[in-house]
Chain A
Amino acid sequence: MKNKLRELRAAKEWSQADLADKLGVSRQTINAIETEKYDPSLPLAFYFLGYAVLNPATNNIL
């Protein structure tokens, strides 16, 4: 599944490890999603969305 995670993460100047820590997943998971080798589950996709859009403390990136 195509996604813009790498660009969005780069815009925040976060490393994969930073994002992984914030979301409570492994760095390999972030890498696999960015390289489009793994599609996140719906709950994890919601976590991404929540982190990017719904949580005001995170300084929206979308």
Chain B
Amino acid sequence: MLYTAGTMNNKPNDPEECINLKKVSWRTDTKVNFWLFIAVVVGIANEILFHTIVPPLDGVLREDFLTWPVGIRLIIESVPLLAGLFWARSLARFIRGMDELHRRITIEAWLIAALATLGFLSIWPLLDAAGISASVYWATHFHGEFTDKPHFILGFWLLLDKPPSIFLTLCLLYAFYILGYFILIRRYK
């Protein structure tokens, strides 16, 4: 087989179009991460409506939700997971279209992200049992009311005070991926 440049004229996918604010392309980002967005939005909605998070948003429909048929509850709870699977498919396609250096870095970064998320979610109950979340809770509340600390950080922290949701898992996964990517890309600069 004769290898010529003529066969490699397609522009490869650039992972930084999704994570580097200087190069970000909303079109590419939407194409790749659309299902992640759906998974996160539905996950947040499920948390707010059906699960307990923080006192002001304390599972608005939680009582009703528990009386609904099991099938409907299963479908509602499965939507973020299904959206996550569709996201994995579009991500795999995006990775397949990268050039070899970016593909290597991205796969390594996802490996790191997967292991870091697994490690974090595994060790969290142990830290929780040691009193981490309780001490944060009491440090940031005053007689059950929030202090003036940023609420979104508190909300995220308190999400960890129970079995992890798919929303939390996806957030951790993506955060560790971005961290891993920018650490790994430094090796090749």
Contact = CB atoms under 8 A, between A and B. Distances in A.
Q: Do chains A and B interact in one complex?
A: yes
A30 B6 CA distance: 17
A54 B12 contact: no
Nearest to B101: A29
Size class of B's contact patch? 10 to 19
Contact of B5 (A29, A37, A43, A55): A55
Given A25-B101, A29-B99, A32-B101, A55 B188 contact: no
A38 B105 CA distance: 11
Given A24-B9, A37-B188, A38-B188, A29 B102 contact: yes
Contacts of A38: 101, 188
B187 A37 contact: yes
A46 B99 contact: no
B8 A47 contact: yes
A28 B2 contact: no
B5 A50 contact: yes
Nearest to B1: A46
B108 interface: no
Contacts of A22: 5
B8 A25 contact: yes
B100 A25 contact: yes
B135 interface: no
B101 A58 contact: no
A55 B7 CA distance: 12
A48 to B, nearest CB: 9
Given A24-B9, A26-B14, A43 B3 contact: yes
Nearest to A50: B3
B10 interface: yes
Given A24-B12, A28-B188, A38-B188, A50 B4 contact: yes
A58 B3 CA distance: 13
Nearest to B98: A26
A44 B4 contact: no
A60 B5 CA distance: 13
A33 to B, nearest CB: 8
Given A29-B102, A41-B100, A51-B5, 5 more contacts: A26-B99, A26-B101, A28-B102, A47-B4, A55-B4
15 contacts: A24-B5, A24-B9, A24-B10, A25-B100, A28-B185, A29-B101, A31-B188, A31-B189, A32-B189, A38-B188, A43-B3, A50-B2, A50-B3, A51-B4, A55-B6
